[in-house]
Amino acid sequence: MKLKEKFKSNNNIIYSCKYHVVWCSKYRRKVLVEDVATRLKNLIIEIANSLGANIIELETDNDHIHILVEVDPQFGISKLVRKLKGKTANVLCKEFPHLKSRVPTLWSNSYFVSTAGGAPLSIIKEYITNQQRSEARRSRVRWSNFLAQSK
């Protein structure tokens, strides 16, 4: 896999920040059905794209949504979720007036988020733990190379 395919970049950082996000409708009411669910998915993709985020996977159930998304860490996952929830609620409640009679607000206040992708935690921990030993090993190799060249 090429570096460009694995990582994204902005002016300051190279990153790969993928998140699994889940949030529910208020009171877990089963309002994400048929046309509402279809419109919600389209809105999420449009909004995410406009904010520079990349929706990797997206699916709704009757009362919640799962999203796999990559977002610039300088923008942040919390800001992205806040924008997605706010804008989708606003548009959906205007386009589907029956939602207002089912729930006082479309979304619950909370959401779930977890990082996704990359190496397993155990591998990252091992890599970090071994940094000092790796640096010492590289220093010994550089020193022995220097000594060999100076003979």
Residues 106 and 137 in one domain: no
Q: Are residues 142 and 97 in the same domain?
A: no
Range of the structural domain that residue 74 is part of: 3-118
Q: What is the CATH number of the domain that holds 101?
A: 3.30.70.1290
Tell me, yes or no, whether 89 and 137 share the same domain.
no
Q: Same structural domain for residues 56 and 92? A: yes
Which residues, 6+ apart, have CB-to-CB distance to 31 below 8 Å?
25, 62, 63, 99, 102, 103, 106
pLDDT score recorded for residue 1: 41
**Model confidence pLDDT, tens digit, residues 71-112:** 999 999 999 999 999 999 999 999 999 998 888 999 999 999
Shared-domain flag, residues 70 and 88: yes
Mean pLDDT of 27-51: 97
Q: Using alpha carbons, select from 47, 51, 68 the residue that is nearest to residue 59.
A: 68
d(CA 90, CA 97): 11
Q: Are residues 110 and 69 in the same domain?
A: yes
Q: Are residues 100 and 147 in the same domain?
A: no
Q: Kindly state whether residues 111 and 146 are assigned to the same domain.
A: no
Number of domains in the chain: 2
68 and 112 share one domain: yes
Please check whether residues 86 and 15 belong to one and the same domain.
Answer: yes
For the whole model, what pTM was predicted?
A: 0.80
pLDDT exceeds 60 at position 147: no
Alpha carbons 39 and 93: distance in angstroms, whole number = 11
Instruction: Verify that 114 and 134 share a domain, yes or no.
Output: no
Examine the domain organization and report whether 106 and 138 are in the same domain.
no
